[in-house]
Amino acid sequence: MSKILTIQDYSIYGQCSLTVALPILSALSHETVAFPTAILSTHTYNFKDFYVKDLEPDFVKVLEHWKKENLKFDCLYTGYIGSTNIIDIIKTIKVDFLNPNSLVIVDPAFGDKGKLYPLFNQAYVDKMKELAFEADIILPNITEACFLADIPYKDDYDEQFVIDLLTKLSLKGIKKIILTNVSFTPNTTGVYSFIDDVYAYYKHEKITEGYHGTGDIFSSVFVGSYLKDNDIYKAIKKAADFVYNSIKATMDDPSHWYGVKFEPELKKLMK
């Protein structure tokens, strides 16, 4: 069992970020410390006039207390952060609160389909580069990888484009890159990885255009599985399959458009 510190937003309604990370990591037998960067009334996709409470002012006070208690963690896993100042604080967490040989895993979580999420800009992307380029593993989608690598996004890409993208990111010093939602045909999608100079692609059937929060679910299953078994390819497959099964369990329910029904899959994950 690892002690994981996960830092991301808490969207009260919508099945994403901490509301999926905490149950998934716990189901995989890890002690999970959830540190919210902000509280949102809902996630930001297709909800209007959502409320956001920035918790940045509380971050330093929490960390001051932790330092007195000499708290340490085996893994730092970040998702949707939302603030350049908090990214700077997270960089100090790496120094002050991680055990020797701890892993830093970063899901950039700032965009999709060629665009940044609401509330983000290029300054945020530039600050995220500082965190991502020092991580042990990063988990971007195609959009985020393009922004990080300063490569123009393309809707219509081929395998060579993906290899070039991963190669350019690897030149920043990242040894393990896991690129999600990579699709070369209309009926398939998958995960393209660059692990210690080895390229690999795991694909499966594409059953919908996707749901909000599936990237957070993939990342959480991956992190928990990798820390449990220390098999990165097994963790990639398990995470991709979990997302696939969760989407399949949701797609016949149009009222559940805001996320996926991942909870029934947790029993299988635990087994």
pLDDT tens profile 101-136: 999 999 999 999 999 987 899 999 999 999 999 999
H helix intervals, the chain: 18-27, 56-69, 84-96, 122-132, 142-149, 159-170, 214-229, 232-250, 266-270
pLDDT above 70 coverage of the chain, percent: 100
With a cut of 80, say whether residue 209 has pLDDT above it. Answer: no
Domain of residue 99: give its range.
3-270
The domain that holds 198 is classified in CATH as 3.40.1190.20
**Which residues touch 166 (CB under 8 Å, ≥6 apart)?**
145, 177, 179, 192, 194, 199
The total number of structural domains that make up the chain: 1
- What CA–CA distances, in Å, run from 96 to 28, 40, 85, 137, 259? 26, 28, 17, 20, 35
pTM of the predicted model as reported, rounded to 2 decimal places? 0.95
Residues 163-174 have a mean pLDDT of 95
Whose tokens are 């959830």? That residue is 34
Q: Which long-range contacts (CB under 8 A, 24 or more apart) does 49-58 make?
A: 52/119, 54/82, 54/83, 56/83, 56/85, 56/86, 56/89
pLDDT tens-digit series, residues 44-98: 888 889 899 999 989 999 999 999 999 999 999 999 998 999 999 999 999 999 9
- 193 beta partners: 178, 200
Residues 30-36 have a mean pLDDT of 97
Whether 112 and 179 have beta carbons less than 8 Å apart is answered as no
For residue 241 the two structure tokens come to 């399959």
DSSP state of 117: P
